[in-house]
Structure 1
Amino acid sequence: MTSSTHPDAKGLALGVSAYALWGVLPLYIHLLKGVPSLQVLAHRVLWSVLLLAVIVIVMRRGPAILAAARQRRTLLLLIASAALIAVNWIVYIWAVQNDHVLEASLGYFINPLVNVALGVAILGERLRRIQGVAIAIAAIGVVVLALDGGGSLWISLTLAASFGMYGLVRKVVAIDALGGLTVETLLLAPACAAWLVYAASTGEGAFGHSRHLDLLLVLAGAVTATPLLLFAAAARRMPYATLGLLQYIAPSLQFLEAVLLFNEPVHTVHIITFVLIWSGCALYAWDSLRALRAPVAA
């Protein structure tokens, strides 16, 4: 695992690509609005398994992945990461399908706060003074929304916490991006397959009724696996706190989609909250960029 202080160019490119793809994910999920959330989740997992199986076979990575997964600590960590990403997916899918893209975007604005806290508390990464101020400003934004009643703040907090913990586990687990995602989806696959069989048996299954819808569900594999592989690879090449540089890309795109495309209502408290969080993220990003450009001490 890379433990350098500064991300390399490839790590930066991987991270930007992952967050850009996540930023436009609501557009895809909206096309599946008539499909129950659990079925969307199940299709995401099962079609990802097929896609990843092809990649693993072509790259001849099967034996190495199996050997890594046989390690007890690795397997336990992957069970934890599989559970975390499943929670994140189902909450996110439900939020988008029920017109809560604004709250979902807020969750991913909060996510850098979670990453920094985990990086400092668990990985021993240092927090500079300006970074601390940035985190405090963004945290005030969350408090403002909570004091207002929060609305669907639970969506934001669940997404932030689950994905923050997922990224931490994937950073420390002794397996690469492809292997980790393959094992995670395999762990989730039996339950997902059982749910789709049950839905079909009750006549509520979405698959098989429309070629257009079937194609969208099949594409769930690529839509799911691609940004996760990019993110997992980036997380292993970058200091965990530095991922906060990139994480505002996805929620900024999602926020614009919620307001401009999905016409979700924006209240005064939302504006105050987002301005504070954007300000905190911008200050944090500026300080991190300044540190990256500073000459490294001998």
Structure 2
Amino acid sequence: MGEERKGYLFGLGAYMLWGFFPLYFRLLAPAGAIEILAHRIVWSVLFVSLLLAAMRNWRFLARIVRQPKALAGITLAGALIGVNWGTYIYGVNAGRVVETSLGYFITPLVVVLLGVTVMRERLRVAQWAALAVGAAAVAVLTVDYGHLPYVALTLAASFGTYSLVKKRLSLPPAEGLFIESAVLALPAVAYLGWLSWTGDAVVGHVSAWHTTLILLSGAATAVPLLLFAAAANRVPLTGLGILQYVAPILQLACGVLILHEPMPPARLAGFALVWVALIVFTADALRHARRERATAATTPEAAAAATR
């Protein structure tokens, strides 16, 4: 099997796991979103610690400690992913899985918007069109919900900004997840200790099965990220861009078909506008990638290489 095909399988595995996350996190109720988040952080740190110990890869810690700017960036990334995880868990357990899927559908559009506002990038006409249609979709969904779809917007904004910060840090996935989780571990442990002290802790008082599922949250967090990293090393960026829609499609299916969340006509119209925006966005990205490959193939260096 070729490396690229393996990469697509790894990527599909990662996005399918993320796509079925709503069903997993619903099993963690009746624990509250913050308690689940705190456990997810703590067990992620422990799971990745074991992984790094097996890999004998701890040298990166000394390097990061000597770089205050990198440490500040990692702290920011940790805060952003904490907000993203907490919002997602809240959305799932509040019966708003459809809205969480919307957040990940519009994330690529938010990333493009951040590129304009933060990175001062210039957009092509099709990208502006996709953003305009996406904004219209949010307006339609706001009317349908009776308020801004704040769960979706918080997910998209936090993950989009997190992606921007991570791009600048360029940390390998296991090391990055360890440091980001470690930044959040102290407040997470403090919160869990406070819950135990006040007698308000739910985890450990439901069932052995519930406790086991909580303990597995570290592996559930790390495994898809490692699969994604394996895919990113083998699959072109455009291929990953298309694969990323697998997760929100599955989340939407979980919300509507399995958890029976409502999908009235107005909400369906809003989602349809989002899908139109993503089709425009993806088609433009594929066309631009083909054009760049064609240009690269006609450079003097490429022509010289072809004649050797």
TM-score normalized by structure 1?
0.87
Q: What's 2:72 paired with?
A: 76
Fraction of identical pairs, as percent: 43
Bigger mean CA deviation after superposition, 142-151 or 277-286: 142-151
Counterpart of 2:254 in structure 1: which amino acid?
A: E
The 5 Å alignment of 1:159-178 reads: 159-178=155-174
For 1:293 and 1:69, the matched residues in 2 are separated by 42
Q: What's 1:191 paired with?
A: 187
**2:294 paired residue among 279, 291, 296:** 296
Once the two structures are TM-superposed, the CA of residue 36 in structure 1 deviates from its matched residue by 1.2
Once the two structures are TM-superposed, the CA of residue 141 in structure 1 deviates from its matched residue by 0.8
Counterpart of 1:176 in structure 2: which amino acid?
A: P
For 1:268 and 1:66, the matched residues in 2 are separated by 55
The CA RMSD over aligned residues, in Å, is 2.7
Higher CA-based Rg: 2
For 2:97 and 2:111, the matched residues in 1 are separated by 21
- Judged with a 3 Å threshold, the aligned counterparts in structure 2 of structure 1 residues 98 and 164 are, in CA distance, closer, same or farther, namely same
Aligned residues: 291
SS at match of 2:288: helix
1:99 maps to 2:104: no
For 2:285 and 2:14, the matched residues in 1 are separated by 20
Counterpart of 1:93 in structure 2: which amino acid?
A: I
For the 8 Å contact 1:103–1:156, the answer to whether it is kept is yes
SS at match of 2:30: coil
For the 8 Å contact 2:238–2:285, the answer to whether it is kept is no
SS at match of 2:202: coil
Q: What's 1:4 paired with?
A: none
Q: What's 2:108 paired with?
A: 112
Q: What's 1:262 paired with?
A: 259
Q: What's 2:129 paired with?
A: 133
Which whole-Å deviations, capped at 9, do the CAs of 1:89-138 have from their partners, x for residues lacking one? 11111111010111111111111111112234444655433333233222
Unaligned runs of 5+ in 1: 1-7
Unaligned runs of 5+ in 2: 300-308
1:205 maps to 2:218: no
- Judged with a 3 Å threshold, the aligned counterparts in structure 2 of structure 1 residues 250 and 162 are, in CA distance, closer, same or farther, namely same
Which whole-Å deviations, capped at 9, do the CAs of 1:15-65 have from their partners, x for residues lacking one? 544332211100100111211111100110111111110111111111123
SS at match of 2:104: helix
For the 8 Å contact 1:47–1:219, the answer to whether it is kept is yes
For 1:68 and 1:238, the matched residues in 2 are separated by 28
